[in-house]
Amino acid sequence: MTVRRRPAIHSRLFAEPEQPLDVFTAEVDGASRGNPGPASYAVIIRRPDGSIVYQLGKYLGRATNNVAEYFALITALDYCATSNISRLKVRSDSELLVRQMQGRYKVKSESLKPLHERAIRQSRGLAYFAIEHVRRELNSEADALANVALDRTGEVTSGARVISSTPARHSTAATAQHSAASSRTIRARYKGGALHPAEPLDFPEGSEVEITIHPKK
């Protein structure tokens, strides 16, 4: 008698697709003192080999911690869009952010709905996107960067301020020296709702700068 065996069902038949090898990783975090209160966020993006390609700590103004978390995620997605990065894995210690992006939690907050919609739209434009929840101690670098941005705001209570921005292949110390050395005054003309520099700017694509305006007399 011939016994026919059923074909084995692959254990990953209904699992998520395996992660490609050439995936960038973004560590994101948001901080708020008062919730709502003075808030900031941080983003660290790493190449597939683990080296840092971009990092940013930014003061946001008065906001909740969850709003700051979404700003961090959107900043990471914006950077990918402007840097031709099509595969991204995000790590966050915010369970709410991760579960909402995964569709496991509903977005009930009116302040989060437009941010969530934007993040979903941007993530769908990538060839590969994944987001995972990690313990706070595994997200310590982004957490520290967000708190540095918050600590250095002084008496500022509104607006936005960039604390550190690393476009590519520099350590934090080297970047600080580079930023100090590259600070300069330029002239620009305001026309059509935008500032038009009078000279070419040699900043890397996607860089953020802080602008202080002094109208010319």
The pLDDT of residue 10: 40
Q: Number of folded domains in the chain?
A: 1
Q: Mutual orientation of helices 65-82 and 140-151 as an angle, nearest 10°?
A: 110
> Has residue 18 been placed in a domain?
no
| Residue 90 resides in a domain | yes
Low-confidence ranges of the chain (pLDDT < 50): 7-15, 154-164, 168-182, 205
In a domain, 129, yes or no: yes
Q: At 185, list the tokens.
A: 């005054």
Question: CATH number of the domain that 134 lies in?
Answer: 3.30.420.10
User: What does each C-alpha distance from 122 to 1, 76, 164, 175 come to in angstroms?
Assistant: 58, 10, 24, 28
Spatial distance between the Cα atoms of 26 and 131, rounded to a whole number of angstroms: 9
- Residue 177 is predicted with a pLDDT of 38
Residue 21's pLDDT is 80
Residue 195 lies in a domain: no
CA-CA distance, 102 to 192, in Å (whole number)? 40
pLDDT at 165: 53
Q: Tokens 């990783």 sit at which residue?
A: 25
Asked if residue 204 is part of any domain, the answer here is: no
Cα separation, 22 vs 78, whole angstroms = 19
Query: 15-45 burial, b for 16+ CB within 10 Å, e for fewer?
Result: eeeeeeeebbbbbbbbbbeeebebbbbbbbb
Q: What is the enclosing helix (H) or strand (E) of 195?
A: strand 194-197
Cβ contact 123:9 at 8 Å: no
32 occurs within a structural domain: yes
Domain assignment present for residue 206? The answer is no
Q: Which domain holds residue 150?
A: 24-170
- Residue 2: the pLDDT is 54
**C-alpha span between 91 and 55 (Å, rounded):** 14
* 8 Å CB contact between 85 and 61: no
In a domain, 9, yes or no: no
What would the pLDDT profile of 88-141 be if each residue is shown by its tens digit? 999 999 999 999 999 999 999 999 999 999 999 999 999 999 999 999 999 999
